[in-house]
Structure 1
Amino acid sequence: MSWLWVIIVGLVLGLLARAIIPGKQHIPLWLTILCGMLGSFLGNAVAGWIGVAETKGVDWTRHLLQLIGAIAIVYVGNMLWNSYRGNKRGSKQRA
Structure 2
Amino acid sequence: MEITGLISALVIGLVIGGLGRLVVPGRQHLSMVMTLLVGVAAALLGTFAASVLGVSDTSGPDWLEMALQVGLAGVGVTTLARSRTRQFR
Regarding TM over 0.5, the answer is yes
Distance 1:6 1:23 in 2: 27
Displacement of 1:54 after TM fit? 1.5
Partner of 2:14: 11
Q: What TM-score, normalized to structure 1?
A: 0.81
Task: Provide the TM-score with structure 2 as the length reference.
Answer: 0.86
Instruction: Say which one has the larger Rg.
Output: 1
| Correspondence for 2:68 among 65, 70, 75 | 65
Residue 37 (structure 1) shift = 0.8
Choose which of 27, 48, 59 in structure 1 pairs with 2:30: 27
In structure 2, the gaps of 5 or more residues are none
Residue identity (%): 30
Residue of structure 1 in register with 2:88 after alignment: 87
Aligned residues: 86
Unpaired segments ≥5 residues, structure 1: 89-95
CA RMSD of superposed structures (Å):
1.3
Runs of 4+ with deviation above 4 angstroms:
none
1:29-74 deviations in Å (ceiling 9; x for gaps): 1000100111111111110111112121211111111111111111
* In the alignment, structure 1 residue 48 sits paired with structure 2 residue 59: no
